[in-house]
């Protein structure tokens, strides 16, 4: 018989071996590490923003570093439109979807207000000359246009829309209209134990549908604009009075609760995440509040990355705006990502920019008038 100490030692070895085998079999949720060259195959290796990100991640994941951040506090927030997915073909994803709902959906009958708002989108989307208050009005009309749908019905509707080809490109559907280099950023952060959240002005349930099979981000990490939900048979009863039953199902309503831009993003992050982000990614002034929340008064080292849509060869960006935007964002302490200079590809080599849109043709006055029974002549914007 072995001495007691030896028996204890052998038992520890056996237990350790069993644990090791269990880890190898189940993976224990650990993502495989990969080198930077493999991880960022869609980036130019000398991109300053990429190297700033890699340097940052190495510092905050090194336990010997004064900048070390525990995994539980590694929070990264991402805007969606223009940051993770395209927003220039010819406009935002939800703009195109709402236009189709208003003018191309035989199951939906828009009222005069909805038709008028559709005309506002048509006339201002391509050059982004939206009238004041458009962002909030848009989400209000989106809520109204899809009111009464169950969450499953809305998911199915968005899924069907995403399967359609993108205007202005060959070889790409809306479901595939995401930035391959940014998908690599998300995967890299997940490999390094960051929790990634999408914080967007788009509808929360649009985000959840889009990311399926694209980004490895759980649906509960999707924060967006919110329409009120209610039980289908709730009627006029208040939420706090109505008892949800086993036969009930949630439906969307026409009431907009939150338009998730600017300071609303900060409020939503505080409510739903409960921690201050240490990384923030965006592309417009609507993301600056979220960026500042990460950058200032943070107990951890933090960093912000802002995309510039300056590629007019592979996308519909505006290179003439690039220098001024770069100066503006860098003056605010943000790292700048140039889509033109920093990325080897945007949507993939098989995707071709055609250089033309069918937007005005598809929604010409005569076609809209036919679809809406003449209501296209109603021009007062909501």
Comparing 325 with 11, which gets the higher pLDDT? 325
Q: How far is CA 312 from CA 29, 146, 165, in A?
A: 41, 34, 20
How confident is residue 89, by pLDDT bands cut at 50, 70 and 90? very high
What local confidence, expressed as pLDDT, does residue 25 receive? 43
The answer as to whether 355 is a domain residue is yes
Segment 177-192 shows an average pLDDT of 98
How confident is residue 342, by pLDDT bands cut at 50, 70 and 90? very high
The answer as to whether 372 is a domain residue is yes
How many domains in the chain? 1
Q: What is the pLDDT of residues 108-128, one digit of tens each?
A: 999 999 999 999 999 999 888
- Mark 31-45 as b/e (b = at least 16 C-beta within 10 Å): eeeeebeebbebbee
The answer as to whether 18 is a domain residue is no
The answer as to whether 283 is a domain residue is yes
Averaged confidence pLDDT in the chain: 91
Query: Residue 122 belongs to what domain range?
Result: 36-233+247-377
The answer as to whether 198 is a domain residue is yes
What local confidence, expressed as pLDDT, does residue 368 receive? 86
The answer as to whether 10 is a domain residue is no
What local confidence, expressed as pLDDT, does residue 26 receive? 43
How confident is residue 376, by pLDDT bands cut at 50, 70 and 90? low
What's the CA gap between 121 and 129, in Å, rounded? 10
What local confidence, expressed as pLDDT, does residue 101 receive? 98
Q: What is the pLDDT of residues 50-64, one digit of tens each?
A: 999 999 999 999 999
pLDDT over 50 at 8, yes or no: no
The answer as to whether 28 is a domain residue is no
What local confidence, expressed as pLDDT, does residue 224 receive? 99
**pTM (2 d.p.):** 0.89
Q: What is the pLDDT of residues 145-178, one digit of tens each?
A: 999 999 999 999 999 999 999 999 999 999 999 9
What local confidence, expressed as pLDDT, does residue 38 receive? 64
The answer as to whether 150 is a domain residue is yes
How confident is residue 9, by pLDDT bands cut at 50, 70 and 90? very low
What local confidence, expressed as pLDDT, does residue 126 receive? 86
- Look-up of token digits 């995403």: 162
Evaluate the omega torsion of the peptide bond into residue 348 and state whether it is cis, within 30 degrees of 0: no
Element housing 45 (H / E): none
- Look-up of token digits 């929070």: 75
The CATH number given to whatever domain includes residue 252 is 3.40.50.1000
How confident is residue 3, by pLDDT bands cut at 50, 70 and 90? very low
Q: What is the pLDDT of residues 303-322, one digit of tens each?
A: 999 999 999 999 999 999 99
pLDDT over 50 at 244, yes or no: yes
User: Cβ(317)–Cβ(309) under 8 Å?
Assistant: yes
Residue 206 buriedness (CB in 10 A; 0-12 / 13-18 / 19+): buried
How confident is residue 29, by pLDDT bands cut at 50, 70 and 90? very low
């Amino acid at each position: 018989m072995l001495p007691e100490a030896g028996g204890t030692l052998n038992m520890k070895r056996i237990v350790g071996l069993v644990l090791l085998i269990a880890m190898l079999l189940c993976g224990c949720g650990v993502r495989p590490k990969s080198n930077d060259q493999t991880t960022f195959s869609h980036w130019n290796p000398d991109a300053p923003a990429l190297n700033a990100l890699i340097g940052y991640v190495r510092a905050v994941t090194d336990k010997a570093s004064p900048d070390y951040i525990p995994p539980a506090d590694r929070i990264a927030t991402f805007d969606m439109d223009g940051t993770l997915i395209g927003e220039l073909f010819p406009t935002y994803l939800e703009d195109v979807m709402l236009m189709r709902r208003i003018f191309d959906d035989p199951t939906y009958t828009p009222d005069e207000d909805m038709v008028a708002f559709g005309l506002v989108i048509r006339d201002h989307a391509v050059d982004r000359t939206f009238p004041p208050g458009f962002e909030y009005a848009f989400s209000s009309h989106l809520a109204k246009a899809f009111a009464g749908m169950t969450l499953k019905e809305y998911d199915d509707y968005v899924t069907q829309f995403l399967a359609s080809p993108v205007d202005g490109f060959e070889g790409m559907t809306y479901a595939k209209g995401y930035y391959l280099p940014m998908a690599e950023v998300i995967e890299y952060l997940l490999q390094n134990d960051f929790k990634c959240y999408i914080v967007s002005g788009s509808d929360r349930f649009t985000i959840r549908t889009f990311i399926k099979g694209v980004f490895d981000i759980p649906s509960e990490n999707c924060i967006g604009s919110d329409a009120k939900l209610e039980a289908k048979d709730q009627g006029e009863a208040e939420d706090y009075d109505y008892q949800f039953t086993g036969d009930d199902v949630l439906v969307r309503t026409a009431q907009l609760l939150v338009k998730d831009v600017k300071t609303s993003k900060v409020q939503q992050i505080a409510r739903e995440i409960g921690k201050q982000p240490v990384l923030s990614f965006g592309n417009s002034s609507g993301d600056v509040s979220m960026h500042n929340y990460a950058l200032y008064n943070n107990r951890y080292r933090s960093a912000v990355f802002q995309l510039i849509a300056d590629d007019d060869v592979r996308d519909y960006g505006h290179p003439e705006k690039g220098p001024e935007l770069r100066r503006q964002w860098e003056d605010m302490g943000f790292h700048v990502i140039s889509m033109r200079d920093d990325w080897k590809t945007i949507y993939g080599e098989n995707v071709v920019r055609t250089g033309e849109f069918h937007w005005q043709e598809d929604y010409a006055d005569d076609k809209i008038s036919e679809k809406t029974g003449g209501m296209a002549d109603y021009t007062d914007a909501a």
